[in-house]
Structure 1
């Protein structure tokens, strides 16, 4: 077991990543993870490069072995209010702030840093494939969001959320035209806006 004294003497670095910037529906999910060097996890990588089965297995290991983790959901209504970029930045700040123990530095996947990070930060392009802590965050965010979209499929049937996870596939766009948007759709996204305008015409 890691002692409090040992933690105090260690520089704690969090990896931060998101899942769900591109979909038309559902939240954007952001995760922050501080890995424990004494409990290594083999096979961490960008979640998009991993099979669903491998992601699920690594998700369980990250939850069990990480020194700290925090997963934040920014819902569709807040995305519409802020825009997707700002919503992602807000989610990253919230995820880092939610870590216990807190991080001394946050490694952010991408080329932008949130302005209100509660610690020092560094943006790393392609970081989810380069930094294990960002890979771990990528996996937590992706698995959490995929599970949420499967659950939302049962609440809002007909859109195919369990299959496409809210991304603008032809099947999703067709369902959007037939059924109109549901409460989980991001109304500020162009295909959803167009569907709403079509409904207004009739």
Structure 2
């Protein structure tokens, strides 16, 4: 197992940021930003997609207790439809970083797209959630908080089975849209039905 790196720059306050739910057709896109203490160690922590639900839940508790600071932000469907999913993902990351105290002096971002935040230097890192601890931590918090939200709204519209698919465009989810139509939680700017999904989004 590859050991994740602590920092991109270790002599300043650095945060990692990541989002969850970008490819979903329902629910918010959720981002987190995390500053870990210099002493933080964890051998299980990595990209949230590579961990079990049990591991993610346990890690969330550890991170909430041990992180120097963390911020989490949901950007909801109306905004996603208005400014698009990429801009919404970056906005969620910006708002999460804004919640950090102290503010970071350097930002590391999962992926290859970001916009400057308050003139703080940043680095985009492809698959950063499986290379750096703080980005992995952000991926855990973003995913667990978003999953929790989707499980909550599942109670309102159980026919879409969001507690299982979390708003991703599974066959079952798309068939439910065909049968019941869309809800206030669906992203209207996305291709929602099978015949609309011939092109990847």
- TM-score of the pair, normalised by structure 1: 0.88
Distance 1:117 1:23, change over 3 A: farther
Hey, what's the Cα distance between the residues in 1 that align with 2:142 and 2:98? 16
In 2, Cα distance between the equivalents of 1:117 and 1:109? 18
Determine if the alignment matches structure 1 residue 129 to structure 2 residue 130.
yes
Aligned to 1:19: 20
Shift of 1:116: 3.4
1:175 is aligned to 176
5+ unaligned residues in a row in structure 1: which ranges? 1-9, 196-202
* Structure 2 unaligned spans of 5+: 1-10, 197-201
Partner of 1:188, secondary structure, is coil
User: CA offset at residue 112 of structure 1?
Assistant: 1.5
Note if contact 1:25-1:76 (Cα within 8 Å) is conserved in structure 2.
yes
> What pairs with 1:40-51 in structure 2 (closer than 5 Å)?
40-51=41-52
- For 2:105 and 2:172, how far apart are their aligned partners in 1? 44
Structure 1 segment 46-195 matched on structure 2, within 5 A: 46-117=47-118, 119-191=120-192
SS at match of 1:45: coil
How far does the alpha carbon of each residue in 1:163-190 deviate from its partner, in whole angstroms, 9 at most, with x for none?
1000000100000011100000000001
Cα deviation digits, residues 125-144 of structure 1 (max 9, x gap): 11000000000000000111
In the TM superposition, what is the alpha-carbon distance from 1:37 to its structure 2 partner? 1.9
Q: By how many angstroms is 1:77 displaced?
A: 0.7
Aligned residues: 186
In the aligned structure 2, how far is the partner of 1:90 from the partner of 1:114?
9
More helix by share: 1
Secondary structure class of the residue paired with 1:54: helix
Query: How large is the Cα RMSD of the aligned pairs?
Result: 1.6
Residue equivalent to 1:38: 39
